[in-house]
Structure formats: C-alpha cells, structure tokens
C-alpha cells in the first residue's frame, strides 16, 4: 500500500489537491493500493465548493506496512504523525532548504524545486505518464485552485512558465474558464471572514530559518487589508514573543508585513533593503508570498556566511 500524505500541522489547497490527484495517478499506474491520508486540519484555502467534489481524502487506516509519498513538505520535523521515515519512497516539494538532505538519501526519489505549486508538479506527472485523460473536471478544479492559490492568481514572482502552462492546460481539460479562479478566491475570503483569527492561526508557519525573521510567520490573502486590526493580530500571536504576518492585498497588489517590534522590523528592512516610515510595518511595492520571503532569507544567510 502507498499512502500519499503531507504536513503535520495543517494542509492547504496545494497539499490537499496534489495528494488527491497523485493518489488517482498511482491507482492508474501501479498495482499497489493507493490512499491519500492526512490527520491534519484543512485550512480556509479549501472552501466547501472544493470539499464537496467527488474526490476527497481517504479515512485513516493502519499504515504499519505502508510506503509513503510526501507532498508539499520536505522537512522531516513536519511530516504527518503516522509517517515512518524509513518507509518513505518519494518526496515532492516546492519549499527550499532540504534539497541536499534528500539528495543524499538514495532510497528516496525526491523532486524539490522552486516552482509556484506542487499541483503543477503533480499535473506534470500525469503528462509524463501519458495519463492526462484521467484529469476530469473535478480533478482539474482541485489542481487549478492549488496553482492559483500558491501563485496568487499567477501574479507572484515565484510563478513559473510551468505553472502558467499547467493552469492553461488544466482549464482546457476541465472545460473551465478564468471565472472559476475568481469564484475560488471569493469562496476562500468568505470562509476566512467567518473567523479571521482561526484562518490566520490555521495557516501559521512556525519554523526558524533566519536571524532576520521571527519563528512565527502568518499569511493571509484578502481583497481589502483593512479588515485586519491590531487587536486581532495581538490575539492571534498572543503566544509568540516574535512574529510577523504577510497580509497580501489583492486590491492594491501589495504585501503589508506587520510585525511585533522594531527589532523584527529592522530584520525585514535589511532583508528587503528598504526603510519603513511606519511602526512595526514594512510595506512592499508588490506582493510576495511567505515561501518567497523564506527563500530570500535563506539565500541572504548563505551570502552573509560566504562573506565570513
């Protein structure tokens, strides 16, 4: 049995959609039983319009003898709780930092690269296996949502030509238009606005990667950032001394990086080579995704290390 799974704390639409789609591909191309299982909570990027499709995750089963495929995660500290590292056969991720770790493990097939979405990588697996015909409208909806969410409607700097091509081809295969993307983002915001505090907490990244960044980094995509208040942020990050949140405003196409202190703000100013006129806030001229911030910080660390 092969179990396709993802991270431990929560799964977003990129993880959710890629797990389900890859399970379907494995069922069609191997003689192994394939399941998509997660014990993690789905965050608000998986709205009811997608959870109600005919494809869903499988119920947890005994995985004592299963082999594991990990998607949208490559840091062993964040694997789902039932994953046995000794039985991992494949890792597919788009978060930097663990490329060399998995390259050294010859028993595991790994594909870790800078690309907009794991859903793009999974779509390409269907094409490579000559199984694109298996991608019906519901699977296309899932994969498209994962690509759009993780690239901010294909507008983030991390978006590649591969992401754009996957989106275009999936639209054709699923008989969909750009209206689906707009419907998806509206559905996500509707979910988020019901409980903004939970929406932010459920998409929190808590991982130390750089002295320039705090350990707790939140992110939320909204049409209007004015809905985020100082009182709300204080509640969300009450258990963290150092924190920041990337508020992506679709309305004006900018990222607003709110943080806990002048110290954290100074780190952000150094990272982005800018000087802010605001208190505990750095405003960027364009929007940026959290994973791009993390990548930038890792690269900055490497440059500083090389200078020593």
Contact 33, 166 (CB under 8 A): no
Integer Cα distance of 68 and 37 in angstroms: 10
Distance CA 58, CA 51 (A): 13
Decide which of 135, 162, 186 is a domain's last residue. Answer: 186
**Average pLDDT, integer, range 154-175:** 96
The pLDDT value recorded for residue 301 is 77
CA distance 256 to 287: 8
Same domain for 163 and 223, yes or no, is no
Structure tokens at 256: 């607003």
By DSSP bridging, strand 216-222 and strand 243-249 are: parallel
Q: What is the pLDDT of residue 308?
A: 30
Same domain, 137 and 178: yes
One domain for residues 173 and 204:
no
Based on the domain organization, do 251 and 300 belong to the same domain?
yes
**Domain presence at residue 280:** yes
Quote the DSSP letter at residue 66: -
**pLDDT digit string (tens) for 28-49?**
999 999 999 999 999 999 999 9
Residue with tokens 């943080």: 259
Range of the domain at 140: 2-186
Query: Does residue 131 form part of some domain?
Result: yes
pLDDT mean over 249-274: 94
304 vs 136 pLDDT, higher one: 136
If asked whether residues 135 and 269 sit together in one domain, one would say no
pLDDT value of residue 303: 52
- Helices 290-307 and 262-271, interaxial angle, to 10°? 80
Residue 143 lies in a domain: yes
pLDDT at 307 over 70: no
The per-residue pLDDT of the chain, averaged, comes to 93
* Residue 71 clears pLDDT 50, i.e. is over it: yes
Range 280-290 average pLDDT: 93
How confident is the model over 107-152, as pLDDT tens digits? 999 999 999 999 999 999 999 999 999 999 999 999 999 999 999 9
- How confident is the model over 216-253, as pLDDT tens digits? 999 999 887 888 999 999 999 999 999 999 999 988 88
Asked, for residue 191, whether it belongs to a domain, the answer is no
pLDDT at 164 over 70: yes
> Do residue 129 and residue 242 come from a single domain?
no
Q: Which two tokens stand for residue 251?
A: 């309305």
**Position 266 in a domain:** yes
Total domains present in the chain: 2
> How would residue 304 be classed by pLDDT, with cut points 50, 70 and 90?
very low
pLDDT exceeds 90 at position 96: no
Q: Residues 276, 139: one domain?
A: no
262 found inside a domain: yes
Instruction: Give the whole-number percent of the chain exceeding pLDDT 70.
Output: 98
- 174 and 200: one domain? no
Mean pLDDT across 156-175: 97
Q: Assess whether 162 and 207 both reside in one domain.
A: no
Residues 96 and 218 in one domain: no
């Amino acid at each position: 049995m092969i179990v396709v799974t993802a991270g431990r704390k929560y799964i977003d639409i990129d993880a959710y959609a890629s797990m389900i789609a890859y399970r379907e591909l494995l069922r069609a191309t191997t003689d192994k039983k394939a399941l998509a299982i997660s014990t993690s909570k789905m965050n608000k990027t998986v709205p009811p319009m997608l959870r109600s499709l005919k494809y869903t995750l499988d119920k947890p089963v005994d995985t004592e003898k299963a082999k594991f495929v990990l998607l949208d995660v490559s840091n062993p500290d964040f694997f789902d709780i039932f994953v046995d590292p000794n039985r991992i056969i494949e890792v597919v991720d788009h978060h930097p930092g663990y490329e060399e770790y998995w390259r050294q493990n010859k028993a595991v097939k790994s594909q870790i690269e800078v690309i907009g979405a794991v859903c793009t990588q999974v779509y390409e697996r269907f094409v490579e296996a000559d199984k694109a015909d298996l991608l019906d409208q519901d699977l296309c909806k899932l994969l498209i949502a994962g690509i759009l969410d993780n690239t901010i409607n294909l507008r983030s700097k991390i978006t590649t030509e591969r992401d754009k091509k996957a989106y275009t081809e999936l639209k054709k295969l699923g008989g969909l238009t750009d209206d689906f993307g707009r419907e998806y983002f509206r559905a996500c915001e509707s979910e988020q606005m019901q409980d903004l505090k939970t929406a932010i907490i459920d998409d929190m990244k808590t991982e130390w990667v750089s002295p320039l960044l705090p350990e707790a980094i939140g992110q939320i995509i909204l049409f209007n950032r004015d809905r985020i208040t100082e009182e709300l942020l204080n509640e969300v990050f009450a258990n963290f001394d150092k924190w920041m949140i990337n508020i992506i405003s679709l309305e004006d196409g900018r990222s607003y990086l709110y943080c806990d202190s002048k110290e954290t703000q100074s780190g952000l100013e150094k990272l982005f080579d800018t000087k802010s006129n605001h208190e505990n806030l750095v405003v960027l001229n364009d929007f940026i995704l959290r994973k791009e911030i993390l990548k930038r910080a890792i690269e900055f660390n490497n440059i500083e290390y090389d200078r020593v």
